[in-house]
Amino acid sequence: MMRNGIMDILARSAATGEIDYLGRADRGAWTTARKAVHARHAQTKIKTCRSNDHRSGASVTEADAPVAGAPPRSQDPERMTTLLLRLKENQDETVFAELFHFFAPRVKSYMRKLGAPEDQAEELAQESMAMVWRKIHLFDAERAGASTWIFSIARNLRIDAFRRQRRPEVLMNDPTLVPDGPESPEREMDRGQQAAAVRAALATLPAEQARIVHLSFFEDKPHAVIAEQLGIPLGTVKSRMRLAFQRFRKALGEPES
Amino acid sequence: MITHHPAEELLAAYAAGSLDEATSLAMATHLTLCPACRAVHDDFEALGGVLVCENAADTLKPDALAATLGMIRAAGSGVADSGVADSGVATVMRPQPSTVATAGSSLLPLPLQYYVGGDLAAAKWRPLGPGIHHMPLIADGAASARLLRIAPGRSVFEHSHEGNEITIVLRGSYSAGGENFRRGDLEMADGTVSHRPVAGSEDICVCLAVTDAPLRFGNFLGRVMQPFIGI
pLDDT averaged over chain A? 73
Number of Cβ within 10 Å of residue A242's Cβ equals 16
pLDDT at A207: 86
Query: What does the alpha-carbon distance between residue A206 and residue A223 come to, in Å, rounded to a whole number?
Result: 22
Nearest to B48 among A75, A177, A217 (CB): A217
Q: How far is A208 from chain B (nearest CA, A)?
A: 16
Which among B38, B69, B102 is the end of a domain?
B102
Same domain, B134 and B195: yes
CA distances from residue A73 to A38, A77, A105, B3 in whole angstroms, order as listed:
22, 10, 16, 45
Query: Degrees (nearest 5) of the Cα angle B67, A81, A254?
Result: 135
Q: Which residue has the higher pLDDT, A230 or A216?
A: A216
How many structural domains compose chain B? 2
Nearest to B52 among A26, A138, A154 (CB): A154
CATH number of A77-167: 1.10.1740.10
Q: In this structure, what CATH number is given to the domain that contains residue B166?
A: 2.60.120.10
Is some CB atom of chain A closer than 8 A to the CB atom of B49? yes
Same domain, B65 and B139: no
pLDDT at B83: 39
User: Is residue B115 domain-resident?
Assistant: no
Q: Please report residues of B whose CB lies closer than 8 A to that of A77.
A: 53
List of residues 6+ apart from A36 with CB closer than 8 A = A25
B153 DSSP 8-state letter:
T
The string of pLDDT tens digits covering residues A48-101 is 333 333 333 333 333 333 433 444 444 677 789 999 999 999 999 999 999 999
Closest C-alpha to A237, from A222, A247, A251, A249: A222
Same domain, B6 and B42: yes
Query: What does the alpha-carbon distance between residue B49 and residue B26 come to, in Å, rounded to a whole number?
Result: 23
The answer to whether the CB of A81 falls within 8 A of the CB of A146 is: yes
| pLDDT(B171) > 60 | yes
Nearest to A181 among B35, B59, B75 (CB): B35
Q: How far is A5 from chain B (nearest CA, A)?
A: 15
Q: Please report residues of A whose CB lies closer than 8 A to that of B88.
A: 138, 140, 143-144, 149, 152, 169-170, 172
**Residue B37 buriedness (CB in 10 A; 0-12 / 13-18 / 19+):** buried
Closest C-alpha to A249, from A181, A193, A202: A202
Q: In this structure, what CATH number is given to the domain that contains residue B92?
A: 1.10.10.1320
Q: Please report residues of B whose CB lies closer than 8 A to that of A225.
A: none
Query: Degrees (nearest 5) of the Cα angle B106, B42, A158?
Result: 90
Q: Please report residues of B whose CB lies closer than 8 A to that of A44.
A: none
Same domain, B86 and B131: no
User: Is residue B112 domain-resident?
Assistant: no
Same domain, B222 and B132: yes
| pLDDT(B190) > 70 | yes
Q: Which residue has the higher pLDDT, B112 or A43?
A: B112
User: Is residue B117 domain-resident?
Assistant: no
Is some CB atom of chain A closer than 8 A to the CB atom of B139? no
Question: CATH 1.10.10.10 region(s) of chain A?
Answer: 185-252
The string of pLDDT tens digits covering residues A147-189 is 999 999 999 999 999 988 889 999 999 999 999 876 555 555 5
Q: How far is A217 from chain B (nearest CA, A)?
A: 5
Q: Do the Cβ atoms of A125 and B60 come within 8 Å?
A: yes
The string of pLDDT tens digits covering residues A105-152 is 999 999 999 999 999 999 999 999 999 999 999 999 888 999 999 999
Q: Which residue has the higher pLDDT, B128 or B34?
A: B34
Q: Which of B29, B69, B84, B120 to mutate to test the interface with A (most CBs of A within 10 A)?
A: B84
Is some CB atom of chain A closer than 8 A to the CB atom of B66? no
B165-171 and B198-199 strand pairing = unpaired
Same domain, B15 and B93: yes
ipTM of this complex prediction, to 2 decimal places: 0.82
pLDDT at B82: 42
Same domain, B129 and B184: yes
Q: Do the Cβ atoms of A156 and B47 come within 8 Å?
A: no
User: Is residue B118 domain-resident?
Assistant: no
Architecture of the domain spanning A185-252: Orthogonal Bundle (1.10)
Q: Do the Cβ atoms of A242 and B58 come within 8 Å?
A: no
Of the pLDDT bands very low, low, confident and very high (cuts 50, 70, 90), residue B213 is low
Share of chain B above pLDDT 90, in %: 61
Same domain, B5 and B98: yes
pTM of the prediction? 0.77
Helices B64-75 and A118-134 pack at an angle, to 10 degrees, of 50
Q: How far is A41 from chain B (nearest CA, A)?
A: 13
Could you please report the per-residue DSSP string of A71-132? PPGGG-HHHHHHHHHHHHHS--HHHHHHHHHHHHHHHHHHHHHTT--HHHHHHHHHHHHHHH
Q: Do the Cβ atoms of A170 and B111 come within 8 Å?
A: yes
The string of pLDDT tens digits covering residues B47-97 is 999 999 988 889 999 999 999 999 999 887 544 444 344 443 333 344 444
Question: CATH 1.10.1740.10 region(s) of chain A?
Answer: 77-167
pLDDT at A56: 38
Q: Which residue has the higher pLDDT, A132 or A22?
A: A132
Same domain, B77 and B149: no
Q: Do the Cβ atoms of A26 and B40 come within 8 Å?
A: no
What's the average model confidence in pLDDT over B155-179? 84
Nearest to B46 among A96, A121, A198 (CB): A198
User: Is residue B179 domain-resident?
Assistant: yes
Domain span including residue B17: 1-102
CA distances from residue A154 to A103, A150, B209 in whole angstroms, order as listed:
10, 6, 29
